[in-house]
A and B are shown apart, each in its own frame.
Chain A
């Protein structure tokens, strides 16, 4: 921290304690906050899924009424998608992007804090609905006109997701600028780690997809709360418009959830195979292609809706086509392992699990695109099986692999490998036990989003459902193992040293945990997998040779090495401003102009506090007066 000791009251300078967290602008701390918040929401979402499974364990059960069940499955979906997988990816983006590209922070540190607080308050807002008259109950897709029905509680959904959308949009802009504009000297695009590439693609997807759902939700909100007629068939409104808008967002959204995990796996597999990623360029381009094509397949969620045969055909084709770039990635990952020397560390196990389980989900995805038969599969547990295989077996496996992999980076300690392996195997077993049988129960006719498993279906699918429910028990136990391992290792884990995995990318170049300013000297990059190349060189035939230590070519990060490294100060304004989202949201949901006004006013005050406060004390916001306010030079000339 660069600042002098005298600080203004609203500017916490402590490095520990609550205030230091509320006011932090350090991308690493923000990443850590994201991470722990998603854990809490994951426990909530998991508990909800436990309730669902308990109700469906046997036919004709009445543990939950229809009313409760509908709220629970809706909140389960919303929680897992918007409060767990997306922000968990954001946790990785936050922590890793600056480190991986050799930067000291993200482009807009306070905006970054803002994103986190919006997310937190958005999540609190959504969950408070349970106490305020009932949680949303119109499913995570919120189809109109059901969702605009007065008894649907979907006001919370419409407003809550918009709040979360603000968080994602701000983060997307921030990360895009960071990646494009803050790479260390020499870090060209084709030298960027794949994770950073996938982060870039993901954030572009967010950038372009979030506005679409924002509009869908605005319309829904106006219909629900203010009597507008967007989706009201009585006056000629078209419910199908909502479906298009939702899925225009919704499909890119599923790639938003999977691409970060793909990036993570692309980092771990090479490290644990002791080989570079097979086909780096292909993997990168395939990722970009997935992102791009991902915008053109949305109507495959509407194959049984009111769209005609030409549209159905066109979207069937585009949907199938997306299997090609995905396949490229799968095969490149497998061939990364091929010919390597694999070390089955926990992150590696989860990465292999990812490749294997995701393939299953992907293949069932392709069978969905067989439109005539989609009419049988749609809205059955077969679809539920598909998306849990890609989301849980894919995204979540990948993200967990990342947790194990970068835990030593964040804490300087190792997580227990023994418990990690126990976690992996029980997780794999529990996962397949839970979701494998759903393929069958779905094809045998069990529809999703049904509060009661009808007795007449019971005899054919009851066993499968029982197995699924048993799977959750295994998963819960497994999650507890993980949680114990995590918390225990934070306190008592073995020292990890600087480079526990023999890693390849820049983040391992610096201390673990990294200092506030990440790098004492900004590294100069000369290779893809820069860190590895500082340890080894390759001879002509591709055989590696060790390089003597200390042969680094870093340039001086600062013109004057004695000067303090210039880092932004803490700021409470993002936090203060974001509290306003609570009165703002309640004001809208309950149509209370006072609350709403309070929220807006609060936000404006927060906004002014924010812009008036300089980024760092004494720094007066910008460069000294005599320098023209433009970036002076490109990085290469540095």
Chain B
């Protein structure tokens, strides 16, 4: 960036500042979907409601996503120490776990669909699918970024001293994880308990 060579006013890296700024606004994004979900949690129009959730299954995929944050931070740690080889390994591991999570979500969606819950069924169904779907989209974008980071580090475009790049993608990835921490509790666990 033009100013990378110029010192910055706050002594912060532009890209990190930009990412944090963007993440702050993402709360407004997910918050609106979560609100719609909470509003419609019992509005099932005769179709299936929260009892359809398979908590043990979702717990496992949530756990996978949570652990991907560990590999992500390890990737950054490796990069920060200039160890590109290990960094690539952890990046792949992270992307892989993300893919497992997404696979779980696809599986979950198809099961729900077969059990009679589809997006056009009720406001509950719409808000569930769109909320979790948008989270899934974020995971997907994260995987794309991880893979491009992987590819670029192979071709030498990402260098050992450029760990800000890994850090940035990491911030995004952790954020997506954090959002899932909230979704898992607010969307899955609490309603399920309240219903049972």
Q: Do chains A and B touch in the complex (CB under 8 A)?
A: yes
The chain A residues found within 8 Å of chain B, CB to CB, are 103-105, 107-109, 169, 172-174, 176-177, 180-183, 187, 207-212, 214-216, 218-219, 222-223, 226-230, 232, 235-238, 241, 245, 248, 522, 566-568, 604, 608, 611-612, 615, 621-623, 625, 627-635, 637-638
Cβ A621 vs Cβ B17 within 8 A: no
Measured CB to CB, the closest approach of chain B to A21, in angstroms, equals: 19
Cβ B25 vs Cβ A207 within 8 A: yes
Interface string of B11-51 (1 = CB under 8 A from A): 11110011001101110110011001001100111000000
B182 close to A (CB within 8 Å): no
Q: Knowing A237-B123, A238-B39, A628-B161 touch, does A634 contact B7 (C-beta < 8 A)?
A: yes
Cβ B28 vs Cβ A631 within 8 A: no
- A182 vs B13: C-alpha distance when bound (angstroms): 11
Q: Knowing A180-B9, A630-B13, A635-B8 touch, does A568 contact B40 (C-beta < 8 A)?
A: no
Cβ A207 vs Cβ B21 within 8 A: yes
Measured CB to CB, the closest approach of chain B to A559, in angstroms, equals: 9
Q: Per a CB cutoff under 8 Å, which of A229, A238, A615 touches B45?
A: A229
Cβ A215 vs Cβ B9 within 8 A: no
Cβ B6 vs Cβ A212 within 8 A: no
A-B contact count (CB 8 A): 180
Q: Knowing A218-B130, A222-B130, A237-B43 touch, does A625 contact B120 (C-beta < 8 A)?
A: no
Q: Per a CB cutoff under 8 Å, which of A177, A230, A633, A638 touches B36?
A: A230
| Chain B residues with CB below 8 A from A214, complex form | 29
* Residue from the set B17, B18, B157 with the largest chain A CB neighbour count within 10 Å: B18
Q: Knowing A211-B29, A631-B11, A634-B10 touch, does A176 contact B21 (C-beta < 8 A)?
A: yes
* Residue from the set B9, B129, B152, B164 with the largest chain A CB neighbour count within 10 Å: B9
| Chain A residues with CB below 8 A from B161, complex form | 622-623, 625, 627-629
Cβ B2 vs Cβ A568 within 8 A: yes
Cβ A621 vs Cβ B13 within 8 A: no
Which 7 pairs of residues, A with B, have the shortest CB-CB distance? A211-B29, A215-B32, A236-B43, A235-B45, A228-B126, A227-B120, A211-B28
A–B complex contacts, Cβ < 8 Å, 6 sampled: A229-B125, A236-B43, A237-B123, A631-B7, A633-B7, A634-B7
Q: Knowing A214-B29, A229-B45, A566-B5 touch, does A219 contact B130 (C-beta < 8 A)?
A: yes
| Chain B residues with CB below 8 A from A216, complex form | 32
Cβ A177 vs Cβ B159 within 8 A: no
Cβ A211 vs Cβ B32 within 8 A: yes
**Closest Cβ neighbor of B144 among chain A residues:** A604
Cβ B157 vs Cβ A215 within 8 A: no
**Closest Cβ neighbor of B120 among chain A residues:** A227
**Closest Cβ neighbor of B2 among chain A residues:** A105
Measured CB to CB, the closest approach of chain A to B101, in angstroms, equals: 21
Measured CB to CB, the closest approach of chain B to A211, in angstroms, equals: 4
Cβ A638 vs Cβ B7 within 8 A: yes
B121 close to A (CB within 8 Å): yes
| Chain B residues with CB below 8 A from A237, complex form | 40, 43, 123, 126
| Chain A residues with CB below 8 A from B129, complex form | 228
- A219 vs B134: C-alpha distance when bound (angstroms): 11
B59 close to A (CB within 8 Å): no
B162 close to A (CB within 8 Å): yes
- A628 vs B121: C-alpha distance when bound (angstroms): 55
| Chain B residues with CB below 8 A from A107, complex form | 1-3, 14, 18
| Chain B residues with CB below 8 A from A612, complex form | 152, 157
Cβ A625 vs Cβ B159 within 8 A: yes
B163 close to A (CB within 8 Å): yes
| Chain B residues with CB below 8 A from A604, complex form | 144
Cβ B3 vs Cβ A173 within 8 A: no
Interface string of B94-124 (1 = CB under 8 A from A): 0000000000000000000000000111110
| Chain A residues with CB below 8 A from B164, complex form | 629-630
Cβ A632 vs Cβ B7 within 8 A: yes
